[in-house]
Amino acid sequence: MNFVDAILLGTLQGATEFLPVSSSGHLVLAQHLIGDFEQPGVLFDVLLHVGTMIAVAIYFWRDLVGLTTSLWRRDELAKNQRVMVALLIAGSVPTAVIGLLFKDFFVGLFERPDIVCIMLLVTGTLLWVAERLRRAENSRKQMTFVDALVVGTVQGCAIIPGISRSGSTIAALLMRGIDGETAARFSFLLALPAVFGAALLSLKDLDHVAGITLLPYLAGTVAALVTGLLCIHLLMGIIRRRRLHWFALYCWLAGGAGLILFF
């Protein structure tokens, strides 16, 4: 893999991680179109996700500082923030269980572009249904532990390439009546522990990467970070304007075109 491939894939990851069209699905399809692409395990994919999660940490740094300091603060705001910390922990549990139990199965799906295309069709359907059921006047900003467990389970299933992590988790919360901006913020914050855990599990693959090969990997990670920052801002505006159905159409077109291309 050369620098151009790495930067293109990193840019693709940064855009599709936050725009609800499945970053893993697009990476699988793009990597199949790059004839000489190879990686140990899914190390490169995980590093690109780390780049986009650094973008989340930068964009939501005030939230992260507030959640961290709430553990020892005693003001009224800290109480609500401690509840949010508990919700994030609760949501991370089903994600971790699903990821650990079915890791090998999910990794195998990254070699199946046919599954990716079908799952893109599923992602499009989730987005369409969520936007149709969404009712802004009845939406709520306060989440419950049931909401957290549901979205954590959905995030665990979104390891399947082609299922958009951001799209499916936001759609799940919208269908449960959560306000769009609250849903997006919780979705992004919930991804941080999941990606951190995946990165730790992939450290063993570093032994198989020659020192000279690490530079393209790092270039791709930086490209994902920069693109991700721009696309987080873009998606927050899209959710406020209720335009998720356009991404549903895109997922249907991409999944359908992929099925035609590969078969």
Mean pLDDT of all residues belonging to the chain: 84
pLDDT of residue 203: 62
Rounded to two decimals, what is the model's pTM?
Answer: 0.83
Determine the length of the chain: 263
14 close to 222: Cβ distance less than 8 angstroms = no
What is the C-alpha separation between 226 and 263, in angstroms, rounded? 35
Give the confidence band of 39 by pLDDT, cuts at 50, 70, 90: low
End-to-end CA, the chain: 26
Confidence check: pLDDT of 149 > 90? yes
- Flag the least confident range among 25-29, 86-90, 164-168, 189-193: 25-29
Range of the domain at 13: 3-262
Across the range 150-166, mean pLDDT stands at: 91
Confidence check: pLDDT of 223 > 90? yes
pLDDT of residue 215: 80
174 close to 183: Cβ distance less than 8 angstroms = yes
pLDDT digits (tens, 9 = 90+) for 17-36: 788 888 777 777 777 776 65
What total of structural domains would you count in the chain? 1
| Distance, C-alpha 255 to centroid of its chain | 18
Across the range 161-176, mean pLDDT stands at: 91
pLDDT of residue 151: 96
Counting residues of the chain whose pLDDT is more than 90, the rounded percentage is 34
pLDDT digits (tens, 9 = 90+) for 79-94: 999 999 999 999 999 9
Beta-carbon contacts of residue 110 (< 8 Å; ≥ 6 apart): 24, 28, 42, 45, 161
3-state secondary structure the chain: CCHHHHHHHHHHHHHHHHCCCCHHHHHHHHHHHCCCCCCCCCHHHHHHHHHHHHHHHHHCHHHHHHHHHCCCCCCHHHHHHHHHHHHHHHHHHHHHHHHHHCHHHHHHHCCCHHHHHHHHHHHHHHHHHHHHHCCHHHCECCCCHHHHHHHHHHHHHCCCCCCCHHHHHHHHHHHCCECHHHHHHHHHHHHHHHHHHHHHHHHHHHHHCCHHHHHHHHHHHHHHHHHHHHHHHHHHHHHHCCCCHHHHHHHHHHHHHHHHHHC
Residue 157, token pair as written in the block: 């299933």
pLDDT of residue 137: 58
pLDDT of residue 86: 95
Counting residues of the chain whose pLDDT is more than 70, the rounded percentage is 87
165 close to 56: Cβ distance less than 8 angstroms = no
Residue 31, token pair as written in the block: 């990597």
